[in-house]
Structure 1
C-alpha cells in the first residue's frame, strides 16, 4: 500500500479537514482530496463521511486510522533511537507527569537541564491521565504509582506524603489547631475528592472532612491549593516535597499525613539506549538526591 497515501489519509483524519491537512503537509486541498479518493478506490471502501462542517471517519476509516496511528508511533520511536547520539543530547523529549508535580517541582528545575543540554526540546505534558508510554504518547513519565506495564523500565525516585500546611501570616492571626477536631474552626483547602489525584490524598481528605469542616476551598490541582495557602486563605493539604522550595510553609498537625505515595520514573524498553532519556533520568535523580539531602539535614538540625 502506498505510504504517501496513508500519510495523507492520517493527516486528514487527525485534522478532520482537507484544508487543514493540506496546510500541515504543504499540499493543495485538491491534491489531498485526490490522494484520499485514490486510497478509497484502492481499498474499495469509503473512509470519510463528508459534510459541511468537515470530515468524519467511517467504521472502515476508524480501523485504518488506528493502524496508521500505531505505525507513526513506531516510526517516531525508531527515528528517536536513530537520532540519539552516543556523545550528544539533542532533539525532542516528551515528558509527562501530574499537574502538581510538574508545575511545582519539575518545571522550576528544568533551567539546570537546559544549561547542560541547550539543544534539548522538552515537551512537558501535565495531566492526571496516565499516558501510554509503549504507544509513544510520551517518551518518559514521572508517575505517582508504580507503572503496571511489563515493557517499561522503571526507577523509584522517592516517597511523598500529603500533610497539612499553612502560611505564617495565617497562623499569626488564627491559632493553629491543636487537634484534628479543631480543624472545624479553620478553612480547609484541598483537591476535590472527585478530581483525579492519588488515592492516598483522597483518603486523607475524606478523613479530614468527617470533622465537620464549616468552610472549604477545593481546587483541581495542587498548584491552586498552594496559591491559596500562600495567600493566607486557610490550611491546605499539600505534598511534603513543597517544603524544599517553600520553606516558609508551616506544618500543621504533623501527625496527620497520608500513607506514602511512591514516585516512579518510567520509559519504554525500546528507549533504553536513548541519550535524551538518560540525560533526563540522571538530572531528575540528581535533583531528588539534593532534595533528600536537604530534608535529612533539616531533620537533624
Structure 2
C-alpha cells in the first residue's frame, strides 16, 4: 500500500471530514478526495459512507483505521524514543490522574522534576474519567485502582485511606467529637456520595451522613474540601496523603476511616524505554519513598 495514501486516509477517518483532514495535512479538499478514491480503487472496496453529517467508516474502513491507528501509535513511540537521549529529556509527556491527587499531591512537587529536566513539557490531564493508555490518550496514569487494560506496565505506589480532618481553630470553637454520633452537631465538608470518587471514600461519606448531619458543605473535588477545612468551616472527609503537606490538619475520630485505596502508576508497554516516561516514573517513586519515610518516622498522623 501507498504509505502517503494511508496517512491521508487516517487523517480523514480521525477527523470525519475531508475539509478538516485537509486543514490538518495542508492539502486542498479535492487533493484529499483524490487520494481517498485512489486508495479505495487500489483496495477494491469502499472505505467511507458519504453522509450529510460527514464521513462514516464502512466495515472495511474500520479494519483499515484500526491498522493505521496502531501504526500511528508505534510511530509516535519510536519518534519519542529517537528524540530522547541519555543527556536530554525533551518533548511532551501526557500524565493523567484524578483532580484531587493531581492538584494536591502531584502538581506541587513538579518543580523538583523541572529543575532536573527544564525542557520537559508535561501535559497534566486531571479528571476522574479513566483515559485509554493503549490508545495514547495519555502516556502515564496515576489511578486509585489497578488498571484493567492489557499491555500496561503497572506499579503499586501506596495505599491511602479517607479520614476526617479539621483545623485546630474549628475544634477550639466547636469542640472535638468523641464518637461518630457526635458529628450530628458539626458541619461536614465532603463530596456527595454519588459524585465520581473512589468507592471507599463514598462509603465513608455515607456512614458520616447517616449521623443526622444538619449542616453540610459539599464540593465536587478534594481541593475544595481542603480549602473549607483550612478556612475553619467544618470537619472534612479527605485522603490521608494530604497530611504530608498540610500539618495544620488535625485528625478527628482516629477510629473512623475508609478501607484502603491502592494507588497505581501505569504506562503502555511500548513506552517502557522512553526516557520521558522513565524519569517521571522514577521521580514519582522517589517522592512516594520520601512520603513513606515520613510516615515510618511517625511524622504523619
**C-alpha distance in structure 1 between counterparts of 2:95 and 2:55, whole Å:** 31
Name 1:65's counterpart in structure 2: 65
- Post-superposition shift, 1:46? 4.8
1:29-178 alignment, distance < 5 Å: 29-43=29-43, 44-51=45-52, 54-149=54-149, 151-178=151-178
- Post-superposition shift, 1:17? 3.1
Task: Report Cα offsets for 1:114-141 as digits up to 9, x if no partner.
Answer: 1101121212222222233333332222
1:221-236 alignment, distance < 5 Å: 221-236=221-236
Name 2:19's counterpart in structure 1: 19
Name 2:287's counterpart in structure 1: 287
Q: What secondary structure sits across from 2:237 in the alignment?
A: strand
Q: If the length of structure 1 is used for normalisation, what is the TM-score?
A: 0.88
Name 2:188's counterpart in structure 1: 188
**C-alpha distance in structure 1 between counterparts of 2:300 and 2:100, whole Å:** 28
Q: Tell me, yes or no, if the aligned pair for 2:46 and 2:58 is still in contact at 8 Å.
A: no
Using the TM superposition, name which of 159-168 and 73-82 deviates more.
Answer: 73-82
Task: Report Cα offsets for 1:139-196 as digits up to 9, x if no partner.
Answer: 2221222334563332222221110112334334322322111212223222222222
Q: Tell me, yes or no, if the aligned pair for 1:49 and 1:58 is still in contact at 8 Å.
A: no
Q: 1:224 to 1:12 in 2, by over 3 A?
A: farther
Using the TM superposition, name which of 59-68 and 159-168 deviates more.
Answer: 59-68
**C-alpha distance in structure 1 between counterparts of 2:55 and 2:149, whole Å:** 35
**C-alpha distance in structure 1 between counterparts of 2:300 and 2:213, whole Å:** 35
Q: Tell me, yes or no, if the aligned pair for 2:48 and 2:55 is still in contact at 8 Å.
A: no
Aligned length: 300
2:279 pairs with 1:271: no
- Post-superposition shift, 1:202? 1.8
Q: If the length of structure 2 is used for normalisation, what is the TM-score?
A: 0.88
Q: Tell me, yes or no, if the aligned pair for 2:163 and 2:257 is still in contact at 8 Å.
A: yes
Using the TM superposition, name which of 87-96 and 37-46 deviates more.
Answer: 37-46
**C-alpha distance in structure 1 between counterparts of 2:255 and 2:224, whole Å:** 24
Using the TM superposition, name which of 120-129 and 15-24 deviates more.
Answer: 15-24
Using the TM superposition, name which of 283-292 and 80-89 deviates more.
Answer: 80-89
